[in-house]
Structure 1
């Protein structure tokens, strides 16, 4: 199946689904529609790129419950909430839970399409970030424990002599470790290595949060 960005529409109202499908396809976006949250869950697999256009009030699992399900299963997909006037407080709840926007019925077509484009852009940025993070994690795995130490000290601004004193080795040894770190991390400059170290720290924090 193509991983072209897809707008997933979940709404129990068939007329609304048809209308949204026509609107989204009219601007050459790929769209799939579902009449319930459970139907979406059964069809969607994590990793597909796109965004979710989600009605708040539906029989069975509500829009908010589907959003909570995705969060609990660590499925990161931008969510746009579609709401009737009386559902605004729930839409605000959904925004606080991470939805990127909520659109009130009846909605303006152009505003909805603008929101969808924004959500798809966020999804692309998030995927690029995750890809970079995975690549840096793979490079970090190549380093020895001592090379990890040297990298941490180098990227925190310590000079070779200072690192040598701290580790109880010669400056030449530090230089050799530093060269191997640069090579294994595929860093063409210290600035690039520092950027990787910043992202590596984010990885550690993310792992701790998951644990």
Structure 2
């Protein structure tokens, strides 16, 4: 069993929230409850695991993940539903949820779900941190420097960039050097990776 966690339970159903909170505390963890992602964002807890209901008639997991991205927050998110549907599971995992499970009804089930979340959390947290750092660096680029970076991602050469942008190859080279300097990228591959990681975070924030 993992060490004592703070589990943030997001569910519009007050009865289910209370049940999950009681079970969480019976499992030896601390529980905080929220009706929706807005309440969770307002609280902005520094740590913990989020157990969130993926409500087909209300707030979906991608809404929660988008709110987290917009607020530069991250917690491992476990999506849950009475009967998980394949399409919903795929959508939630693509948006960044760590797992998608049937709503836990037993302490043993909840403990297993939390154990899995803790094991999976660190690699995903590191990915999120890299993406945010990349986004911050890219935001320092001028419009033209960012255009050059995006064209690099598409595999364009300096000559083709110059032709497409109506600039000289020398001017492209200057923009490229400045872009690399601002990104603090050691090589083109690193710059391309930053753009790809930051783009994923931007799409998630919506």
Q: TM-score, normalised by structure 2?
A: 0.62
Question: Residue 21 of structure 1: which of 7, 19, 25 is its match?
Answer: 25
Contact 2:131 2:197 survives alignment (8 Å): yes
Relative to structure 1, the CA distance from residue 47 to residue 127 in structure 2 (aligned partners, 3 Å threshold; closer, same or farther) is farther
Any unmatched runs of 5+ in structure 1?
A: 26-30, 57-62, 82-87
TM-aligned CA deviation for residue 188 of structure 1:
1.0
Q: Which residue of 1 aligns with 2:59?
A: 68
TM-aligned CA deviation for residue 7 of structure 1:
1.6
In structure 1, distance between residues paired with 2:138 and 2:41: 36
Determine helix, strand or coil for the equivalent of 1:181.
helix
Question: Residue 18 of structure 2: which of 12, 15, 22 is its match?
Answer: 12
Q: Which residue of 1 aligns with 2:172?
A: 174
Relative to structure 1, the CA distance from residue 42 to residue 144 in structure 2 (aligned partners, 3 Å threshold; closer, same or farther) is closer
Question: Residue 198 of structure 1: which of 178, 185, 196 is its match?
Answer: 196
Q: Which residue of 1 aligns with 2:100?
A: 100
Residue-pair matches, total: 180
Determine helix, strand or coil for the equivalent of 1:151.
helix
Q: TM-score, normalised by structure 1?
A: 0.61
In structure 1, distance between residues paired with 2:23 and 2:183: 50
Work out whether 1:184 is the aligned partner of 2:182: yes
In structure 2, distance between residues paired with 1:178 and 1:141: 15
Contact 2:83 2:102 survives alignment (8 Å): yes
Contact 1:21 1:32 survives alignment (8 Å): yes
Q: Which is bigger in relative contact order (C-alpha 8 A, separation at least 6)? A: 2
TM-aligned CA deviation for residue 173 of structure 1:
2.4
Q: Which residue of 2 aligns with 1:84?
A: none
TM-aligned CA deviation for residue 118 of structure 1:
2.5
Question: Is the radius of gyration larger for structure 1 or structure 2?
Answer: 1
TM-aligned CA deviation for residue 171 of structure 1:
2.6
Question: Residue 155 of structure 1: which of 150, 153, 156 is its match?
Answer: 153
TM-aligned CA deviation for residue 194 of structure 1:
1.2
In structure 2, distance between residues paired with 1:192 and 1:43: 32
Q: Which residue of 2 aligns with 1:32?
A: 31
TM-aligned CA deviation for residue 206 of structure 1:
4.0
